Amino acid sequence: MAMAELSTPKTTSPFLQSSSRLRLSSKLHLSNHFRHLLLPPLPTTPNSKISCSVSQNQAPVAAQENGLVKTKKECYGVFCLTYDLKAEEETKSWKKLINIAVSGAAGMISNHLLFKLASGEVFGPDQPIALKLLGSERSIQALEGVAMELEDSLFPLLREVDIGTDPYEVFQDVEWALLIGAKPRGPGMERAALLDINGQIFADQGKALNAVASPNVKVLVVGNPCNTNALICLKNAPNIPAKNFHALTRLDENRAKCQLALKAGVFYDKVSNMTIWGNHSTTQVPDFLNARINGVPVKEVITDHKWLEEGFTESVQKRGGLLIQKWGRSSAASTAVSIVDAIKSLVTPTPEGDWFSTGVYTNGNPYGIAEDLVFSMPCRSKGDGDYELVKDVEIDDYLRKRIAKSEAELLAEKKCVAHLTGEGIAFCDLGPVDTMLPGEV
Ligand SMILES: NC(=O)C1=CN([C@@H]2O[C@H](COP(=O)(O)OP(=O)(O)OC[C@H]3O[C@@H](n4cnc5c(N)ncnc54)[C@H](OP(=O)(O)O)[C@@H]3O)[C@@H](O)[C@H]2O)C=CC1
Ligand SMILES: O=C([O-])CC(=O)C(=O)O
C-alpha cells in the first residue's frame, strides 16, 4: 500500500503516548476533545523533500496557557518520515487536500468506511484527504483508538486526522459530510420517539454545517431514518443548496442487484439501471420494470413476474432485518461499501445509459412525487459531485401505487418532525404498521 520507501521513524506513535502529547488544535480548548493529527505539508517544488529536522522529529508538545492549549507546529511519529524521490514525484501530481467529516466515527459502519476513505479507494489515488471525526463524550476514547488504527495503517493519502465532539469545530471547511451517527432504535421504542431523538441530532448538525462547512459541501445522511434525517438537516442549513443533501439508499440498490443476479444466474455486474424509489424503509420500491440484465429489460430475462412483484420486492425491503437475525447486528461492512459506491457515483461520470439511486430533495422532480421530501430516485452524474435526475423512466400502475405508499410514509414522517424543520407544531401519526427501517422485522 505504501507509495514511498520510508526511512526509519525516529519517534513512536503519538497515539501510543499519553493523551497530553497528542497534537491539539491550537485554537481549541482541551475540554472540547478536539484532537488533531497532522502530516508534513505536500512538496511544492520539484526538488523539495518532505523531511523533518531532528528537532522537528519529536512528539508534539501541548503547552497550556490560561487554560488554552497551544501546540508547536512539529510533526512526529510516523508523520515525520522522509519521503524518497519517487514519493516526491508522486505527491507533486496530487490534487488539493479535501476535508471529509464523518459522524458516528467510532461506530461499526465507520470502522469499515474510514479505512476505505484513507486508502484512496473512494476519491482516487491522487487525492489527499483530511478526516474530521465527530464523536461524543461516550466515544471520545474509542475515537482515539480509531485514530491510532488509522495512523498504524500508514496511508500516504491520509494527511490529517482530527477528532472532536463539537460539530461546529469538526465541520469547519468540510467538503464532504458523511453523517452516520444516530441512536439505534431499541426494543419497545416508538418510531416517533426515534424520529424526535435522531431528528434533533440532524437539526443540530445541519445548523453547524450551515455555519462552518464549505458552502458547496456534499452531505450524505446514513443514520436512520435517513430520508427524514436528511430533510431535517437540509432545512437547518439554508445556505447550503438543498440539492447537496443525500440519504443513503445505495445499499438497497446493491441488495436489489444481487437478488436479480441470483435469480437470473448472472454475475451481478450484468445488472444495471436499478432504481430504488422512496424511503429507506420497508416501503421502498425496488424497480424491476426499468432495471436491465445484460442490457435487456429484467421482465424479459426473468419471466416469473409474480416473484418480481412479491418475492424479489420483499427480499430487498427486508434484507436488513434478515441480516440482523443472522448476524445479531445491522449491516456495517456492506453499508460502508455502499457509501463508497454512493460517493464514487457522484465523483465519477455515470456510465452511458446507466444510473444510480440516491435519496434527494424532490423539488422540481418530473415524477409527480410530493415536493419538499427526500426521496430515492434515479440519478446520473458528470462526476463533478453534482447530479441530475433521470427523466425518462417508465412508471406503470404497479410502481405508481407502491411509490405512493412510500411517499405517504415520508409525508407522515415529515409531520412528526415539523418542530425540527421550522414548519410549526409536530403531529405524529405513523399509522398502525410500524415499518420504518429495513433492519427491523
Ligand atoms: N441508510 C442505510 O442504508 C443504513 C443506515 N444504517 C444506520 O446507520 C447508523 C449507524 O449504524 P452503525 O454504525 O452500525 O451503528 P453503531 O451503533 O455502531 O454506531 C452508531 C454511532 O451513533 C452515535 N450516536 C449518536 N447519537 C447517539 C445516541 N443518542 N445514542 C447512541 N449512539 C448515538 C454513536 O457514536 P457517538 O457516541 O460518537 O455519538 C455510535 O457510535 C444507524 O442509524 C443505522 O440504523 C445502518 C445500515 C444501513
Ligand atoms: O435498520 C438498520 O439499522 C439497518 C438498515 O438500515 C439496513 O440494513 O438497511
Domain membership of residue 332 (yes or no) is yes
Measured in Å, residue 284 CA sits from the centre of ligand 2 at 13
Residue 310 lies in a domain: yes
Catalytic residue among 33, 36, 246, 280: 280
Asked if residue 437 has its Cβ within 6 Å of ligand 2, the reply is yes
* C-beta of 439 in contact with ligand 2 (< 6 A): yes
From the CA of 228, which ligand is nearest? 1
Ligand nearest to the CA of 182: 1
pLDDT of residue 37: 59
- For residue 280, how far is its CA from the centre of ligand 1 (angstroms)? 15
Q: Which residues contact 50 (CB under 8 A, 6 or more apart)?
A: 40, 41, 42, 43, 81, 82, 83, 87, 88, 91
Could you tell me the CATH number of the domain that includes residue 396? 3.90.110.10
- What's the number of CA atoms in the CB half-sphere (13 Å) around residue 31? 2
DSSP H/E element including 35: strand 35-38
The range of the structural domain enclosing residue 345 comes to 250-421
One-letter identity of residue 402? R
CA 122 to centroid of ligand 1, rounded, Å: 21
Q: What is the dihedral of CA 397, 399, 400, 405, to 10 degrees?
A: 130
Indicate the number of domains in the chain: 1
Provide the residue-wise pLDDT of the chain in tens; the chain has 441 residues: 333 333 333 233 333 232 222 332 322 222 334 555 556 555 433 332 222 222 222 233 333 334 333 343 443 334 345 545 455 667 788 999 999 999 999 999 999 999 999 999 999 999 999 999 999 999 999 999 999 999 999 999 999 999 999 999 999 999 999 999 999 877 767 778 889 999 999 999 999 999 999 999 999 999 999 999 999 999 999 999 999 999 999 999 999 999 999 999 999 999 999 999 999 999 999 999 999 999 999 999 999 999 999 999 999 999 998 998 898 888 999 999 999 999 999 999 999 999 999 999 999 999 999 999 999 999 999 999 999 999 999 999 999 999 999 999 999 999 999 999 999 999 988 876 655 567 665
State whether the beta carbon of 184 lies less than 6 angstroms from ligand 1: yes
> Any idea which residue has 406503470 for its cell?
396
Which of 192, 218, 226, 219 lies closest to 419 in space, CA to CA?
Answer: 192
Nearest CA to ligand 2 atom 1: 439
Tell me how far the alpha carbon of residue 234 lies from the centroid of ligand 1, in angstroms. 19
Q: Do 333 and 223 meet the contact criterion of CB atoms below 8 Å apart?
A: no
Cα separation, 102 vs 158, in Å, equals 14
User: Distance (Å, rounded) from C-alpha 255 to C-alpha 276?
Assistant: 10
Q: For residue 83, is it within any domain?
A: no
Cα 411 to ligand 1 centroid, rounded to whole Å? 24
CA distance linking residue 185 with residue 84, whole number of Å: 50
**Residue 46 φ/ψ, nearest 5 degrees:** -55, -40
Which atom of ligand 2 has the smallest separation from the CA of 226? Answer: 6
What pLDDT, on the 0 to 100 scale, is given for residue 75? Answer: 33
Quick check: is 313 in a domain? yes
pLDDT of res. 192: 83
Ligand 1 site, residue 226, Cβ cutoff 6 A: yes
Ligand 1 centroid from CA 120, angstroms: 24
Top mutation candidate among 109, 179, 195 for ligand 1, by most atoms within 8 Å of CB: 109
Coil, helix or strand at residue 122: coil
Contact, 122 vs 340, CB < 8 A?
Answer: yes
- Is there a catalytic annotation at residue 33? no
Nearest ligand to residue 250 Cα:
1
Within a domain: residue 400?
yes
ipTM of the complex: 0.98
Is residue 108 a part of any domain in this protein?
A: no
What is the predicted pLDDT for the residue at 433?
Answer: 61
Q: What is the structure's pLDDT at 327?
A: 87
Whether ligand 1 lies within 6 angstroms of the CB of 335 is answered as yes
Residue with the nearest Cα to atom 16 of ligand 1?
107
Ligand 2, atom 8: closest residue by C-alpha = 320
Residue 287 Cα to ligand 2 middle (Å): 19
Whether residue 117 is contained in a domain is answered as no
Ligand 1 in contact with 297 (CB < 6 A)? no
Ligand 2 near 225 CB (within 6 A): no
Output the pLDDT for position 18: 28
Structural domain contains residue 380: yes
Ligand 2 atom nearest residue 330's Cα? 4
**Going by CA atoms, what residue is nearest to atom 14 of ligand 1?**
108
Nearest to 61 by CA among 75, 71, 76: 71
